[in-house]
Amino acid sequence: MTFRDANLSEAFKHLVLIFGALIVVAPFIVMTSYSLKSPGEIERNEGGYLGSQEIMVDERCYKKNEPNKASISAAIFRFPGSTLDEVRLKLIEEVRTSCSMRPVAFNYSMAFSQAPLVRYLLNGVFVTLTIFFIQVVIALPCAYALSKLRFAGRGVVFGMVLLCLLIPVHAIALPLYIMLSKLGITNTYAALIIPWTISVFGIFLMRQFFMTVPDDLLDAARMDGMTEYSIVWRVLLPTAIPALLAFGIFSVVAHWNDYFWPRVVITGDRDLFTPPLGLREFKGDADGSLWGPMMATATVIVTPLIVAFLLAQRRFIEGITLTGMK
């Protein structure tokens, strides 16, 4: 390969990476931009990324507080010498002033006032962390057995784990729902958590990591009188922190962003909504879809994941490398 061909190859690789990055980043840019714009700017597709941030009137606030005959009659003493029409116009001006705000304030205030977003975020934290905790409790002993213990059928069991990785979630959704419905635990936290407590991906990932742990370390632990369970939790667990962190990011992101399964099993109780279900509060109605508040809600939902990944980025890459996933 000539020097010119090598440069062309490197340039092509960089173009592919830039194109891939744009595909990933573009939806986030649109989402955050819409969360900063007024409804009119979104509808007309103008205002740039940040929007003009000109003072706007919240039409829903105005309609809710629009002067009526009773309020006009009650306020007439405030404006001596004014006719009813003049009082009405002055009250309208007061209402419009009180309902005026910048688009970014409108969108994010609506995100937290239109729906109990804080409750939904807390639900998401509880569900995702509970799922991850139980997945770790189950995955570590299973991964240890598949990587370090000798028993008949170990290869068959590991093959079944790999086979389960190929089964799409949507294929088993209906049987899972029927089972939970028969048990009477739909519309509960248990319905959100129980189906995902066993992660074959977690077992596979941790098994790959445990394969890199020297057997001499385990033999020394056995000579010190440690049981197999003690080895898992007192020897292997501390060494597996990078791999667990990598798995944790995969698990938390998947279940934090999951809309499909909560939509299936949570059908009535809004107090059980997870963050993605909270976006339903801004779906289209008689006044149209609230795109600004919806995108503000989506930004609030996504931001914790981005911050968590940036903080754990080094350990995440280390964990992926140690497990042999490249």
pLDDT digits (tens, 9 = 90+) for 269-311: 888 999 988 887 776 554 446 788 888 888 888 888 888 877 7
Cβ atoms of 159 and 239 within 8 Å: the answer is: no
CATH 3.40.640.10, applies to 117-322: no
What pLDDT is stored for residue 127 in this prediction? 95
Count of beta carbons in the 10 Å neighbourhood of residue 8 = 12
Write down the pLDDT at residue 321. 63
Q: Cα separation of 304 and 302, whole Å?
A: 6
Digit-coded pLDDT (tens) for 2-25: 656 566 777 777 788 888 888 878
- In this prediction the pTM is 0.81
Supply 264's token pair. 């299936």
> Three-state DSSP class for 218?
helix
Higher pLDDT, 104 or 130: 130
Q: What is the mean pLDDT of residues 253-266?
A: 90
What pLDDT is attached to residue 285? 52
Output the pLDDT for position 202.
Answer: 92
Closest to 124 measured CA to CA, from 266, 304, 308, 273? 273
* For residue 133, pLDDT beyond 90: yes
pLDDT at position 309, please? 78
* Predicted local confidence at residue 286, as pLDDT: 46
- The pLDDT > 70 percentage for the chain reads 92
83 has pLDDT over 50: yes
Any idea what DSSP says for residue 100?
E
pLDDT for the residue 91: 81
- pLDDT tens string 108-126: 888 888 888 889 999 999 9
| Domain residue ranges in the chain | 3-113, 117-322
What is the pLDDT at residue 5?
A: 59
pLDDT of residue 320: 62
Q: Which of 124, 114, 132, 113 is nearest to 301 (CA)?
A: 124
At residue 136, does pLDDT exceed 90?
yes
Q: Is the pLDDT of residue 38 over 80?
A: yes
